Structure 1
Amino acid sequence: MPRPKQRTEALQERGLASALAVLDEEGVGGLTTRTVAQRANASVPAIYEVFGDKAGLVRAVFFEGFRMLGDNLAALPPTTDPVEALRRLADAFRAFILANPVLAQIMFSRPFADFDPTKDEAKAGLKVRKIFVQHVRDAVDAGRLSGDPTDLALILFTFVEGLAAADNAHRLGTSRQSTNRRWHLGLNALLNGFQQGAR
């Protein structure tokens, strides 16, 4: 009688949750199919059956990270001030990166040599990019920013991602007070520059 397939949605969810927990507790170096299998109370072959290989496991984590970030940003409460909405968006992005530092590495820094996202996989961040573009477009349509919304959104996203990564690596200072001050200094300078042509 053939062995029943281990591939189940429950095992996939358990394996993904286990991978996220391993990353959070042990960092990138701790993520192996064996550690994930142990935490998920599954066999290593079962994890391979669900994810294919370690690259497949990292790929699942990569997509889950962007899903979590997108849901987080989409849930921000609305505000009548579109520039304030951009500040809140940037702050929420930063908060996610700081709360999930190792996950952020996988999403933006590619720490695993055996996982290099293809163009299709890079579309995982499409929801996040669309949220940035829509917020910027709202500000442009309200006459608060001047420029092409897609151009401005890409610059804002790249700036925020880079500054959040610097914050994560403790390159903005040693105290939360100093890092907060420098974060807001940089963000306000960028947004003020975007507003110049609209005045």
Structure 2
Amino acid sequence: MPRAKQRTNDLRERGVATALAVLAEEGVAGLTTRNIARRAEASVPAIYEVFTDKTGLIREVYFEGFRMLGEALAALPVTDDPVEGLQRVARSFREFVVTNPVLAQVMFSRPFADFDPTTAEDKAGVKVRKIFVDRARRAIDAGVLVGDPTDIALVYFALLDGLAAAEAARRLGSSPQSVERRWALGIETLLAGLRP
């Protein structure tokens, strides 16, 4: 008996959820249209109709990753201590990357040759960027950091992204203590250099 047509929002949601699960379980190599269709209990043509092609599926995963990260960062309470606020952002970002290492690769390292985000796709990170800028602005307004909030936010994000990539590649040390110490050193050094 042929499958019922499933070209709906339900299939879109199922396809993205399946792609996230495949990335977590099988890595980048497992993310094929055929594999997603099989695991989502859909046909390959149905997946193509919903996502257009594999690049469309990767694009949706990319957007979902930034939505998830944005929600995690937005859930952080604002504190009276703006430096602690920045440190909480770092911890939450790190936790997201450690929990979702392959998804983080899709978002920040571009492991698929056929997916190169355009300006429109880069807007997926606007919510994340605004949270970084907001936390930097709070620290500047409190007089504990000096500089342009956007500059500080982008440099801070680049530091965290680099530390997360180094940790994933096991370049920050072999013991949890050394990794923690080097994360703290990087963050403290950057923030100390931005103090009045």
Give the alignment's TM-score, normalised by structure 1.
Answer: 0.94
Cα deviation for residue 42 of structure 1 reads: 0.7
Q: Secondary structure at the match of 2:111?
A: coil
Q: 2:152 is matched with which residue?
A: 152
Distance in 1 separating the partners of 2:32 and 2:182: 37
Cα deviation for residue 59 of structure 1 reads: 0.5
Q: 2:118 is matched with which residue?
A: 118
Distance in 2 separating the partners of 1:50 and 1:6: 9
Q: Is the 8 A contact 2:69 2:96 kept in 1?
A: yes
Q: Is the 8 A contact 1:6 1:46 kept in 2?
A: yes
Does residue 88 (structure 1) correspond to residue 88 (structure 2)? The answer is yes
Distance in 2 separating the partners of 1:78 and 1:132: 12
Q: 2:128 is matched with which residue?
A: 128
How many residues in Structure 1 have an aligned counterpart in Structure 2? 194
Q: Secondary structure at the match of 1:144?
A: coil
Distance in 2 separating the partners of 1:138 and 1:78: 10
Amino acid aligned to 1:136: A
Cα deviation for residue 9 of structure 1 reads: 0.7
Amino acid aligned to 2:136: V
Q: 2:70 is matched with which residue?
A: 70
Amino acid aligned to 2:185: L
Q: 1:46 is matched with which residue?
A: 46
Distance in 2 separating the partners of 1:80 and 1:154: 22
Distance in 2 separating the partners of 1:17 and 1:4: 20
Distance in 1 separating the partners of 2:39 and 2:48: 14
Q: 1:141 is matched with which residue?
A: 141
Does residue 25 (structure 1) correspond to residue 25 (structure 2)? The answer is yes
Distance in 2 separating the partners of 1:192 and 1:143: 13
Q: Is the 8 A contact 1:6 1:49 kept in 2?
A: no
Cα deviation for residue 36 of structure 1 reads: 0.7
Distance in 2 separating the partners of 1:190 and 1:184: 10
Distance in 2 separating the partners of 1:161 and 1:82: 20
Residues 127-172 of structure 1: per-residue CA shift (max 9 Å, x gap)? 1000000000001001010111111111111111111111111111
Cα deviation for residue 33 of structure 1 reads: 0.6
Give the alignment's TM-score, normalised by structure 2.
Answer: 0.96
- Consecutive unaligned residues of structure 1, counting only runs of 5 or more, are none
Amino acid aligned to 1:23: L
Cα deviation for residue 6 of structure 1 reads: 3.3
Distance in 2 separating the partners of 1:127 and 1:94: 17
Q: Is the 8 A contact 1:8 1:50 kept in 2?
A: yes
